[in-house]
């Protein structure tokens, strides 16, 4: 029997999820996979609850909730990466089109949408 703790973990609203897969790349731990057209946290121990996936979801399907769950497990993350290489979905800056080979990209919400912005365009987005 697994011991559980009260901690933060990603919650996915399947009614809002379109299965677009945009949230897969920001999850460094590989906790999110698309199964039968819906995003799922495949194993709770892979989700650290940091919520880097939240900002990119175009439908608001992702939230972080606090509840009972098995603890986050770094070793499980490494084991998962070894047996199941992650799906990589490249992103570009919504403003200038730069890809992440040429500038760091950050998830943002702007004008009511979730997207990515490069670090060169971010200051203009903040300061206008």
**Residues at the interface with ligand SF4 (CB under 6 A):** 12, 17-23, 39, 56-57, 59, 61-62
Nearer to ligand SF4, 61 or 69 (CB): 61
- For the record, the structure tokens of 103 come out as 């500038």
* Tokens found for residue 96: 């200038």
Classify the C-alpha dihedral 116-104-30-44 as positive or negative. Answer: negative
* CA of residue 99 relative to chain centroid, distance: 18
- In whole angstroms, the minimum distance from the beta carbon of 1 to ligand SF4 comes to 30
Q: Could you tell me the smallest distance in angstroms from the CB atom of residue 21 to ligand SF4?
A: 5
Rounded to the nearest whole angstrom, what is the least distance from the CB of residue 56 to ligand SF4 in the complex?
Answer: 6
């Amino acid at each position: 029997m697994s011991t559980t703790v009260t901690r933060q973990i990603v919650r996915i609203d399947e009614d809002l999820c379109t299965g677009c897969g945009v949230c897969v790349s920001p999850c460094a731990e590989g906790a999110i996979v698309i199964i039968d057209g819906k995003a799922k946290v495949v194993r709770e121990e892979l989700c650290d609850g940091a919520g880097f996936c939240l900002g990119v979801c175009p439908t608001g399907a992702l939230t972080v909730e606090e509840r009972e769950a098995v603890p986050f497990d770094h070793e499980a993350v490494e084991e998962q990466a070894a047996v199941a290489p992650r799906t990589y979905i490249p992103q570009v800056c919504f403003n200038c089109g730069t890809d992440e080979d040429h500038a760091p990209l950050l998830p943002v919400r702007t004008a009511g949408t979730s997207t990515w912005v490069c670090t060169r365009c971010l200051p203009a987005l903040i300061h206008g």
